[in-house]
Amino acid sequence: MVPLTATDAIARGGTMPYAFYLDAAACSGCKACQIACKDKHALPLGVLWRRVYEVSGGGWSTEGSAWRQDAFAYNLSIACNHCERPICVEVCPTRAMHRRADGLVLIDERRCLGCHYCEWACPYGAPQYDAAARRMTKCTGCADELDLGKAPACVAACGLRALDFGPAAELSARYAPGDVLSAAARLAPTSPPLPDPALTRPGLLLAAHQHAARAAAHGARVGNVEEVRPGAPRTLREPSLVAFTLLAQLAVGLFWAWLALRWRGGGEAGADLPLLAVGPALLGGLLASLLHLGRPRQAWRVLANLRASWLSRELLLSGMFAAGWALSVALAVAAAPSSWHEAAHGTVALIGLALVYAMGRVYRLRTVPAWDNARTVRAFILTSLTLGASAAALLLALAGGAARAILLAAVLFALVSAAAVSLRARFYARYSALR
């Protein structure tokens, strides 16, 4: 089937979004589609826009002296599904990831930070990092071929015609004749190891393999994990993520601790040291966040998606908290009315709380069950409180000059910091690329 061109689809008002069709029973796992995609787009080592998953399950069992097997296997050829509700578009802070009127989800290379946020969020592993270009890449649906009225390279290369591509309604009518709604139900994009289609409403019409139900009921494994997932997402192994989140939360916690001391009377020696330490801690966290980006010079674009991206909101609140801290320092050395102090400090404390909340919401991705729970935000707030209190205690001990107090406070801060680093590392380890 020759699909409509992109121009035709746009002329229809985007009412016929594109979709892939896959007949899992017909797919032999020859990987011609995977190779054709890699060849057409000259993809570097470790980047596969289309991947053929080798799914298997079952095994051997004994019945008396006899051995019986119920093993099964099938293949799934998966690329970007150009979802109707693409979470990659929602989370992208620069709006580099966008959905065209014809349903194709594309990346504007000029705007991409290489922040990997889309990679975390996509349950299909579609966005992938190009280390040489230092940015994200993904399946384009071969938009250039579509504009010429041709099929994508992967579809053209499939010798068994297990793959097709075109307007979703036309594919439904072609492969499941009858009412479109019932056809879409029969061609549901649900088969292990694919995620729940309700998460993103993928443009994928899947004629599931006969053993898909067994795989869902009894579990199945991907036999070629090393091929379809050459390695865990690089950023999840980087200490820059741990450093940024912990230092920013330390900064907020220090401000809260200083404010508590101020409200209590603040007569201790060095009572303002926690306030002065807020800025360096926050600055260190923000600098660490730049190390996480593939293209840090594009960081100025990060506020472009405040409407939908919690990452954009997190950075905006970081800037607001930094400005509030500077104002608090200025008020601390100025002879301003006390009412100004209370209003400003209370506002900055609330901004800090909003910042920690936003940091937690960055990870509350509906496609990552290990992170998408209330414990994430609570853990971030608790980290701010414990790090801030222990750091403030150490600073006050240093100002007091008592050796024993300094030693005890230093040991406490070291233990709290070590626990925070360990727990945050385990937090990232809970992420699974195949979820």
- Its pTM stands at 0.89
Which region among 195-199, 234-238, 324-328, 362-366 has the lowest average model confidence (pLDDT)?
Answer: 234-238
Read off the DSSP letter of residue 337.
Answer: -
427-431: long-range pairs with CB below 8 Å, 24+: 427/371, 427/376, 427/379, 428/236, 428/241, 428/242, 429/236, 430/370, 430/371, 431/120, 431/233, 431/236, 431/368, 431/370, 431/371
Confidence band of 184 (pLDDT split at 50, 70, 90):
very low
Confidence band of 230 (pLDDT split at 50, 70, 90):
low
Averaged pLDDT, 216-229: 85
Which residue, chain included where needed, has tokens 């006390």? 338
Whether 42 contacts 35, CB under 8 Å = no
- The packing angle between helices 273-292 and 310-333, to 10°, is 150
Per-residue pLDDT of 419-433, as tens digits, reads 999 999 989 887 754
Q: How far apart are CA 156 and CA 168, in angstroms?
A: 18
With a cut of 50, say whether residue 188 has pLDDT above it.
yes
Sheet holding 51-57, edge to edge: 72-78, 51-57, 221-222
Averaged pLDDT, 233-239: 59
Averaged pLDDT, 368-397: 96
Helix then strand then coil, in percent of the chain rounded to 5, is 50, 10, 35
With a cut of 50, say whether residue 265 has pLDDT above it.
yes
Which region among 38-42, 233-237, 254-258, 376-380 has the lowest average model confidence (pLDDT)?
Answer: 233-237
Helix/strand/coil for 264:
helix
Print the SS3 string covering 126-164: CCEEECCCCEEECCCCCHHHHCCCCCCHHHHHCCCCCEE
With a cut of 90, say whether residue 226 has pLDDT above it.
no
With a cut of 80, say whether residue 37 has pLDDT above it.
yes
Identify the burial level of 58 via C-beta atoms within 10 angstroms of its C-beta, where 0-12 means exposed, 13-18 middle and 19 or more buried. Answer: middle
More confident site: 356 or 218: 356
Per-residue pLDDT of 57-105, as tens digits, reads 888 877 788 888 888 999 999 999 999 999 999 999 999 999 998 899 9
Where residue 401 falls (left for φ over 0; alpha for ψ -120 to 50; beta otherwise) is: left
What integer pLDDT is reported at residue 214 of this predicted model? Answer: 85
More confident site: 346 or 229: 346
End-to-end CA distance of the chain: 33
Phi first, then psi, for residue 150 (nearest 5°) are -105, 160
Alpha carbon of 18 to those of 104, 128, 292, 343: distances in Å?
Answer: 7, 21, 34, 54
Nearest residue to 431 via CA among 215, 238, 204: 238
What integer pLDDT is reported at residue 191 of this predicted model? Answer: 81
Cis upstream peptide for 193 (omega within 30°): yes
With a cut of 60, say whether residue 181 has pLDDT above it.
no
With a cut of 50, say whether residue 264 has pLDDT above it.
yes
Which residue, chain included where needed, has tokens 């800025």? 279
What integer pLDDT is reported at residue 110 of this predicted model? Answer: 94
What integer pLDDT is reported at residue 357 of this predicted model? Answer: 98
Q: DSSP states of 173-195 as a string?
A: HHHS-S-HHHHHHHT-S--TTS-
In order of start, what are the domains of the chain with their CATH numbers? 6-228 (3.30.70.20), 234-429 (1.20.1630.10)
Whether 247 contacts 284, CB under 8 Å = yes
More confident site: 206 or 265: 206
Best-predicted range by mean pLDDT among 115-124, 242-251, 256-265? 242-251
CA 174 to chain centre: 35
Q: Using CA atoms of 326, 328, 329, 333 in order, give the dihedral in degrees to the nearest 10.
A: 140
Best-predicted range by mean pLDDT among 70-74, 151-155, 168-172, 184-188? 151-155
Averaged pLDDT, 357-376: 95
What token pair was written down for 212? 């898909």
Amino acid (one-letter) located at 120: W
What integer pLDDT is reported at residue 316 of this predicted model? Answer: 98
Q: How far apart are CA 162 and CA 155, in angstroms?
A: 8
Per-residue pLDDT of 142-162, as tens digits, reads 999 998 999 999 999 999 999
More confident site: 332 or 370: 370
What integer pLDDT is reported at residue 213 of this predicted model? Answer: 85
What integer pLDDT is reported at residue 182 of this predicted model? Answer: 46
Confidence band of 15 (pLDDT split at 50, 70, 90):
very low
Q: What's the mean pLDDT when you consider all of the chain?
A: 88
Amino acid (one-letter) located at 52: V
With a cut of 70, say whether residue 2 has pLDDT above it.
no
What integer pLDDT is reported at residue 14 of this predicted model? Answer: 43
Find the angle CA(179)-CA(182)-CA(185) to the nearest 5 degrees: 150
Confidence band of 189 (pLDDT split at 50, 70, 90):
low
Read off the DSSP letter of residue 207.
Answer: E
What integer pLDDT is reported at residue 243 of this predicted model? Answer: 96
With a cut of 70, say whether residue 49 has pLDDT above it.
yes
What token pair was written down for 425? 């590392």
Per-residue pLDDT of 276-322, as tens digits, reads 999 999 999 999 999 999 999 999 999 999 999 999 999 999 999 99
Averaged pLDDT, 117-130: 93
